[in-house]
Amino acid sequence: MAKTWQVILATVAIFLAGLVTGGATALGVVRWVVRHRAAAAGQAGPLVQPGPFGQRMGGAGAGVQQFGPQLMRSFANQLDLTEDQRARIMPIVRRTAGQLARDRREIQLTSALAIEKMQDEVAEVLTPEQRVKFEDLIRQQRARLQQFKQGGRQPAPPEGRPDAPPGPN
């Protein structure tokens, strides 16, 4: 019995370490992208950014919804497409953009459900006192995520956690 809870605890610790590492990596990538978009906007004007096929239009506010038109413009500009080629490629790009949007929504939902299931399973293992702390941690993580989604800075780590990584600069 003692080995079972140790294995469960080790598994949860590894998962949480991966979660923290993934979050930190994602935050680093987001910062890198924001810095490079700002630099590109400063050099090429506010509506032009470097893309996989040269310049792409849209600025930082251009979302995934504009993936198809942006890619099509890049293809047309970089490959000197004929009208016939454009007409044949456009449905392919539109279909792929739609599939990517559906896949992204499905992954977001699946990930949220997996995290919620993991949290429920972890809570079952914890003592009532630990469960209260765990639920508080989850609330703090959700608040940070919500603030990040709104473009704000993350709050400072909870009191008594000097080992916690600092929030973004």
12 in a domain, yes or no? yes
137 in a domain, yes or no? no
50 in a domain, yes or no? yes
Element (H, E) at 118: helix 83-125
* Structural domain boundaries, residue 73: 2-125
Q: Whole-model pTM? A: 0.42
Given the DSSP bridges, would you call strands 54-57 and 48-51 parallel, antiparallel or unpaired? antiparallel
141 in a domain, yes or no? no
159 in a domain, yes or no? no
Total tally of structural domains belonging to the chain: 1
pLDDT of residue 5: 80
Per residue of the chain (169 residues), what is the pLDDT tens digit?
668 888 888 888 888 888 888 887 887 777 777 776 665 555 443 333 444 444 333 433 345 556 788 888 888 888 888 899 889 988 998 898 889 889 988 998 898 888 889 999 999 999 999 999 999 999 998 888 888 878 765 545 555 554 444 444 4
